[in-house]
Amino acid sequence: MTRHSSPGRRHFIEAGLALALASAIPGAHAQGGASSARVLRIGYQKGPFSILKGRGTLDKRLAALGTRVEWTEFPSGPPQLEALNVGSIDFGDVGEAPPIFAQAAGAPFVYYGQTAKRPVSEAVVVPDDSPVTSFSELKGKRIALVKGSNTHFLLVRLLAAAKIDYRDVTPVWLSPSDARAAFERKAVDAWAIWDPFLAVAQKTANARIIADGSGVVANRAFYFTSHNYVQKNDDVLRVVLGEIGALDKWVEANRSEAAGEFAQLWGVPREIVEVALARLQYGVEPISRETLADQQRIADAFYELKLLPKRIEVAHAAPPSLA
């Protein structure tokens, strides 16, 4: 099985370690005044946080609580959780699978919020001129994806549905940007990816969807924090989740305007953003017991495939409200 550690991935790990060491130095996080007594370090992907950061609305809300926000963009969920594990971020957004691997690795991870199910916002694509017309034809092929990402679980479920053994395909572990390059030069046969990268690939890389998450995965996004941070700063986190929920409702009701805002922030054509927003399901809410049960099923599936070193109890990462 091919493994790939991208420069970007190593960069985030090294940066996280450096910040973790800095946090141990007295005064390293001292702020300039009483209005900045607390800090919330947010890790985020291209999505709702991009708009919140661009607008500055969350920063203003939290300033009233004496909290300063620091923002760090990541290409996917797993590096965010690595950063949480070494203490360099406090909050972030992630797909279904990364939390499972993070918990198995001993990260002090806590689920804090969830989105609606978004099964069609991730998919497996092939080049438009590929002879592959169905997912079952990928047996024996090379598939690019982010290890431990939501698309990792999508691949597992699609293989099971097609009655293909997990060992009968070759995952190629690549970041979204590296996977895009490999896809375009046809170094891989297929690519499992999520929006907005999926929409970009469809519009600019001649990618053709052969399977999405419909009927096989929920593909929720999660908002996470650490045990230590939530114990001391639950008031801050409630404001964050409220702002995310309000923005989600605004995007749903104002998709055209939102597409223009996302396009400017991401530096991609508006029509590409419109594709991603059109298939997005909306809704942000606190974590439910039903969702934790769904996550436990994912964890059990990964363990059975020997992708996890040990069984985990997802409930151990439940937020205080469900403890």
- Which two three-digit tokens encode residue 223? 């908002």
Do residues 199 and 166 share a domain? yes
Domain presence at residue 276: no
Whole-number average pLDDT of the chain: 88
Same structural domain for residues 174 and 303? no
271: in domain: no
On whether both 158 and 201 belong to a single domain, the answer is: yes
Is residue 52 a part of any domain in this protein?
Answer: yes
| Total of domains in the chain | 2
Strands (E), the chain: 38-44, 67-73, 91-94, 109-115, 122-127, 142-145, 170-173, 190-194, 207-212, 222-226, 284-286
Q: Are both 33 and 107 inside the same structural domain?
A: yes
**Residues 177 and 312 occupy one common structural domain:** no
Instruction: Please compute the mean of the pLDDT values over residues 204-217 and round it to a whole number.
Output: 96
Q: Give the domain CATH number at 184.
A: 3.40.190.10
* One domain for residues 132 and 71: no
Instruction: For residues 163-191, give the mean pLDDT.
Output: 97
Domain final residue, candidates 187, 212, 237: 212
- Which H or E run contains 275? helix 270-278
State pLDDT tens for residues 215-270: 999 999 999 999 999 999 999 999 999 999 999 999 999 999 999 999 988 888 99
Range of the domain at 105: 7-116+220-254+283-322
pLDDT of residue 298: 94
Q: What is the pTM of this model?
A: 0.80
Q: Identify whether residues 289 and 313 lie together within a single domain.
A: yes
| 135 and 176 inside one domain | yes
Q: Check whether residue 208 and residue 231 sit in a common domain.
A: no
The per-residue DSSP string of 18-38 comes to: HHHHHHTSTTTT--SSGGGSE
Domain closes at, from 212, 246, 263: 212
How far does Cα 15 stand from its chain's mean position?
19
Q: What is the three-class DSSP state of 312?
A: coil
What pLDDT was estimated at residue 35? 43
**Residue 266, in any domain of the structure:** no
Same domain, residue pair 202 and 247: no
Residue 310 shares a structural domain with residue 238? yes
CA distance 128 to 261: 30
Structural domain includes residue 305: yes
Residue 10 confidence (pLDDT): 39
For residue 9, what pLDDT band results from cuts at 50, 70 and 90? very low
Q: Quick one: 182 and 236 in the same domain?
A: no
Q: pLDDT tens for residues 77-111? A: 889 999 999 999 999 999 999 999 999 999 999 99
Please report the pLDDT score of residue 48 as a whole number.
84
**Among the three residues 212, 239, 262, which one is the final residue of a domain in this structure?**
212
Indicate the DSSP class of residue 205. Answer: S
Residue at 263 is within a domain: no
CB 54 within 8 A of CB 261: yes
Quick check: is 192 in a domain? yes
pLDDT at 188: 98
Does residue 17 fall inside a structural domain?
yes
What would the pLDDT profile of 12-62 be if each residue is shown by its tens digit? 333 343 333 333 333 333 333 344 589 999 999 888 888 899 899 999 999
